[in-house]
Amino acid sequence: MDLDRYLNKIVSAFRKRMTRREFVGTCAKAALCAGVGANVLGLYSKYQAYAAIGEKRGMREALFYEKISDETVKCLLCPMGCVLSNGQRGFCRVREPVDGKLYTLVYELACALHIDPVEKKPIFHMMPGHKTLSVATAGCNSRCKYCQNWDISQSPPEETKNKIVTAGDLVGSARTNRCASISYTYSEPAVFYEYMTATAALAKQHGVRNIMVTSGKINPEPLENACKLIDAAHVDLKGFDKKYLKDTCAQDLDNILGSLVIMKKNGVWVEVVNLVVPGLNDRMEDIKRMSAWICDNLTADTPLHFSRFWPQYKMRSHYPTPEETLIQARETAIGEGLRYVYIGNIPGSQGENTFCPSCKRTVIERTGYTVRKNNLDNGACGFCGQKIPGIWS
Amino acid sequence: MRFLWAKDTGDMVLKNLHRISVIFSIFTVGFTAIAAQIIFLREFLVVFYGNEISVGIVLFSWLIWGAVGSYCFGGLLDRSARKEGIFAWCQLCAAIVLPVVFFCVCVSRGLLGVLPGEIIGYIPLAVISFLVLAIPCILFGLMFSLSCGLYNSVSGAGGADIGRVYVYESWGAVIGGLIVGSWMMRFYEPSFLVISLSVLNVVASLFFLYSSCREKHVFSVVKCFAVFLLFLSVFFAANGYVAKFRDISLSFLWKGYDLTGNKDSIYGNVAAVRNGSMVSFYENGLCLYSVPDLLSSEETVHYAMLSVPRVKNVLLIGGGISGRIKEILKYDVDHIDYVELDPALIEMAKEKLKDDDLKPIVSPKVSIINVDGRAYVKTSDAKYDCVIMGVGDPLTLQLNRFYTVEFFGEVKRVLKSDGVFAFSVTSSENYIGPEMARYLASIKKSLSLIFKDVAVIPGDTAYFLAAGKDGIITRDIDIITNRLKQNAVETKYVRDYYLSSKLSSDRIAYVDNALLSAENECRVNMDFRPSTYLYAISLWTSQFEPGLVRNLMGRITDQYIWLAVGVLCLFFVAIFIFLGMRVRNAVIMSIGTVGFANIVFEMVLILAFQAMYGYLFYKMGVLIAIFMAGLASGAFFASRASVFFRRSGVYFAAQSGVCVLAALLPVLFESLRMVRPLWIGADFLCLLLPFFAGTLGGVQFASANAIWVNDNEGIVRAGGVSYGIDLFGACLGALLTATVLVPVLGFYGTCAIVSVINMCVLLLYIAAVFAKK
């Protein structure tokens, strides 16, 4: 037989007209095959999930979940509210139920550990110039398209290079390296909640402060609990438009704003950071509304940082934020009554300094991550005595 | 079915005219197909930011649909009595579909809901290209099949007609590639070119229709429609709608941006976008530089410049318009040679930059040299104190050439003994994962083979510094800041207040350890084994499909590929035996394997010559045109050679030639590399080899068709089958060469695979011949 005729036979078979019965029969067979195939694949992927968490390091029973059955749980940590079957991974990629119990997979399993100046977080009203020990695990419950740390935030722990760093190790390391605080940062500390709170509790006992660098995408109850341990929070308020937040970051604006209010109410020192992305969230009307909201709901003393977008991750073909946009944003925010408005990544700009709202003099002068001059006197302006809010010691 | 003409002289003239119209139509099919391919590829690259993988994916879609059109639809119409009418309708449909498809490509980002500046992965590209290219490619495939029948109706030579049709179609492609790809793209917008192609097809259709039939009422509907389309095109052109079509396409393509400049050159598309005082320059849809961007400019320049005691002569490869020249001129330099391949980028910068930013570029100390950077370094006799490179990450095989051991050796040659070489690539400040570590480590490993001292400045961008001696490069903050003062250089970012964090011992130790631990897992990057490209595309893909990369791409190794080749060969043998060990079957299989080989040769030759000689002499379109000319010439030769030689002998020689050429190419490349190239010799080889490879492919295709098609019946089906199989082999070659074969196996391994697969089929042919005897 000739190859081409053999192939034509196969093609002709597809072109042949079917009776209704034959058609239904063919569809049923195809559906059965597809179903079997899907189940095989599903079993395989479940097997992979179990295999993946066969690595027992990092596993600890999670807080804030609800058992629905021996097969299903509902996570209550963040607004995603994942309902998960055994072996199914949550949206954050780091929580998974086993035998009806939800586990975090990143307990004491750090993948990034560095010492940074606190100005880099940025946190400007907390012990200026001190070093902070920064720690992160894999996973995140957002999907920001310009994430600087996408390689850890958008990865499950089995795909990152991790090592066990206990709470005790972290606190010990902070003290050894003279870091006045520990920052839970880079990815999203809400998703390594258990690790963060355990470390924060121990840190507090040893006089080390705790900073949460978060998007604020967390449910109220866990947040209220965390606020008892956290001293300061940098909250990324990435935009003030619901659609933009949803499309770009998979976040809900109301949830983030609610988190801000909870933190403020619980006495956490809050600094809000807005990453200005040109063409996407740089409209001055939105910045005005955001500033007004902060003023009304968090007080005019809440620092607001405008930071500059650099092409990253999936947005690497976008251009960086022009300097004048940040300057204009700052002016808009100040116009709405905010007293401490900063610009990041533009060294030498006025937006790096803290000014006394009363006498307008420079209380803290910064360039980049370095504090040049500190004219604070016991938390007050060294010139006129006006109280400057923050954590100064 | 033949058309019967009256038997007088006038009818002879008409008969000849009809024959000419058929040939012209076939020529137009080839012309349109290649021109449309070039235009659409360019648009896909701009919309999706492309590299060779993207090209492979688009070509795969193009060729597979062509195969479907040729094989399936061609087969369907084999016995149709209406081939002429259907062919004319196909031409008119192509005329309508081309601008529609072009528009669809332009709006595809909007349809996918993609943000401005967002890069999307390969899967959306694959889906969009597969959907959008279906209709035009099916039409092209179908038209080839129908052409075989039409040509047969005017010549009656049976299987040999397929070869002749292939010749005419290939020449159409050659001329189309040269005219559109190498010439018109420089001066006309793609939207205009697409409309022109539509008009060409309408004209060809009208010519064909009016010459094919003496009775006016026959084909009256299609004739009317063709005339209508012609008038519509004229109306569009006269009323400026072509320009409006262009504007609308651009507005979709650049939605969300204030596009202030757009140029197409033979190297790609260059665009400028403005936001306030900032101007950003894009090449093929990817943002290259923004001006002003002090951070990048300062870091790229000053870490290197501060390492060298006295910098007088600087070579800057790429990135000069981004502010780097301004930073270099802060030092007391005598001269800067700025090499930038695409003059369109410089022209755009001159039009769009403010005086302050433009002044350094046009400074008398700066010489702008519009050549390929690699070729310049290879042939320059100058010696530099500092070589700074800013060409971007090696995300294409084209760019990978700037990160190979061979190139680093060439740079060292033009560097003074205490000179410093510097460049930057994407990295991560806080976490270096396995893919990133392999990527960076392979670059460092390659650099370390040539330079004695290599250091990496950590950050979201990693800055590599290399020197031929120890003690030149420094990452010490105090030394750097002191040197800044000594040189009286004002900077904003390369200052103690940032460096204290960036160059802290913790950060330096982290990046050094991360790269060290990955060095054993990664390979050195070489021209003919582009390992860094493999790691770069793995890293790139992991942003979109992390599971795919870590589970699949990370596991594709040489062994698995050779295993797959072994399985394929066994499959061929099994099919051959199962179907009765017939000569025809071996020949049909060889059409597919040579289709695969043709694409591999085309890509490997272009990439290899680029690696060795750069873009200095050749534009891609010219090389492809030469290859296509070889195909056409080979097919022509085969059709004539049957007079003097046996068809089986010609086929055997061609098939063997393909195997031998694939095996010899690595030897040839190695020999060329060892010899410092004489330009005339290189020039000659760059013309000869693609032509020779194409000729072999053309001879093989035509002679194979002459063997297996042994009757005049079913010529359309036969043409459809062979063209379809040829295209199927080509589409696999297009997809696999850039995605898997070259990155994993390198050029030599890829050539070896081509040789093995074709040798397998050749052996089956020999077995069939003996079995027949």
Q: Considering only CB atoms, which chain B residues are within 8 Å of A369?
A: 497-498, 500-501
CA distances (Å), origin A80, targets A84, A90, A186, A190, A251:
11, 9, 20, 12, 9
Domain range list for chain A: 1-55, 109-381
Min distance A116 CA to chain B CA atoms (Å): 7
Q: Which of A6, A136, A320 sits opposite B290 (nearest CB)?
A: A320
Q: Does B513 touch chain A (CB under 8 A)?
A: no
CB contact under 8 A, A315 and B118: yes
Task: Return the pLDDT at B146.
Answer: 87
- The ipTM, to two decimals, is 0.87
Chain B: closest CA distance from residue A202 (Å): 24
Tokens of B159: 């299987």
Question: Quick one: pLDDT band at residue B558, thresholds 50, 70, 90?
Answer: confident
CB atoms within 10 A of CB A41: 10
pLDDT level of residue A47 (50, 70, 90 thresholds): very low
Please report the residues numbered 116 through 135 in chain B whose beta carbons come closer than 8 angstroms to any beta carbon of chain A: 116-120
B8: confidence class by pLDDT, cuts 50, 70, 90: low
Tell me the chain A residues in contact with residue B493 when contact means C-beta distances shorter than 8 Å.
347, 368
- Note whether B278 contacts A320, CB cutoff 8 Å: yes
Residue A18: pLDDT band (50, 70, 90) is low
| Cβ atoms < 10 Å from Cβ of B617 | 16
Alpha-carbon span A390 to A392, nearest angstrom: 6
pLDDT digits (tens, 9 = 90+) for B83-137: 788 888 899 999 999 999 998 888 888 778 788 788 888 888 888 899 999 999 9
d(CA B658, CA B638): 15
Q: How far apart are CA A69 and CA A50, in angstroms?
A: 19
pLDDT tens figures, A20-32: 666 666 666 666 6
Number of A:B CB contacts under 8 A?
159
CATH of the domain spanning A109-381: 3.20.20.70
Query: Is pLDDT at A35 greater than 50 in this prediction?
Result: yes
pLDDT at B680 over 60: no
Cα–Cα dist B257/B620, whole Å: 30
Check residue B336 and give its pLDDT.
97
| Residues A160, B543: C-beta atoms closer than 8 Å | no
* Tens digits of residue pLDDT in A229-259: 999 999 999 999 999 999 999 999 999 999 9
Write out chain B residues lying below 8 Å of A324, CB-based: 276-277
Q: What CA–CA distance (Å, rounded) separates B403 from B442?
A: 9
Q: Do B433 and A151 touch (CB under 8 A)?
A: yes
Cβ contact A115–B492 (<8 Å): no
Q: How far is CA B341 from CA B372, B374, B391, B436, B640, in A?
A: 5, 10, 10, 28, 43
B588 contacts chain A (CB < 8 A): yes
For residue A146, the distance in angstroms to the closest alpha carbon of chain B comes to 9
| B255 → chain A, closest CA residue | A279
A117 Cα to chain B: minimum distance (Å): 7
Average pLDDT along chain B:
85
Across the beta sheet with A101-104, what order do the strands follow?
A60-61, A101-104, A95-98
Confidence (pLDDT) at A98 = 92
Among residues of chain A, what percentage have pLDDT more than 70? 86
Q: What is the pLDDT of residue B454?
A: 97
Q: What is the mean pLDDT of residues B725-730?
A: 86
Q: Which residue has the higher pLDDT, B722 or B372?
A: B372
Whether B116 and A318 lie within 8 Å, measured CB to CB: yes
A319 closest CB neighbour out of B280, B510, B708: B280
Q: What is the pLDDT of residue A50?
A: 40
pLDDT tens digit string along A85-140? 999 999 999 999 999 999 999 999 999 999 999 999 999 999 999 999 999 999 99
Backbone φ and ψ of B731, nearest 5°: -70, -35
Q: Of residues B451 and A4, which shows the higher confidence score?
A: B451
* Cβ-defined contact of A1 to B431 (cutoff 8 Å): no
Q: What is the rounded distance in angstroms from the CA atom of residue A185 to the CA atom of residue B501?
A: 16
> pLDDT, tens digit, for every residue of B208-258?
888 875 555 556 777 778 888 888 877 877 777 777 887 887 788 788 889
CB contact under 8 A, B506 and A115: yes
Report, as an integer, the average pLDDT of B343-352. 92
**Whether B434 contacts chain A with CB within 8 A:** yes
The predicted-structure confidence for B349-390, as pLDDT tens digits, reads as follows 999 999 989 999 999 999 999 988 988 998 899 999 999 999
> Mean pLDDT throughout B165-176?
86
For residue B38, give every residue at least 6 positions away whose Cβ sits within 8 Å of its Cβ, in sequence order, or none: B177, B180, B181, B185, B621
